[in-house]
Amino acid sequence: MLDASGKPWTLSKDISVPNLKVYTTSVSIKLGARYLQTATNVTPGWANAVATYSLTYQ
């Protein structure tokens, strides 16, 4: 997972969401992802993936 600036996002770490006003009904969290090369040789082909994450509001 990447944050909005493209840096790896530290998982299982609390983050704050600043500037929320009373009665806020939605928040946008910009995330991204990328593939990492794990083999010496890379060949063309499909690279499909699914990511599941959970958010806990405290």
Local confidence band at 40 (pLDDT 50, 70, 90 cut-offs): very high
CB 2 within 8 A of CB 30: no
Residue 9: name the closest of 55, 49, 46, 57 by CA: 55
pTM of the model: 0.49
The pLDDT tens digits for 4-23 are: 888 888 878 877 777 778 88
How would residue 33 be classed by pLDDT, with cut points 50, 70 and 90? confident
Nearby residues of 17 by Cβ (< 8 Å), 6 or more positions away: 27, 29
User: Tokens 């990492």 sit at which residue?
Assistant: 36
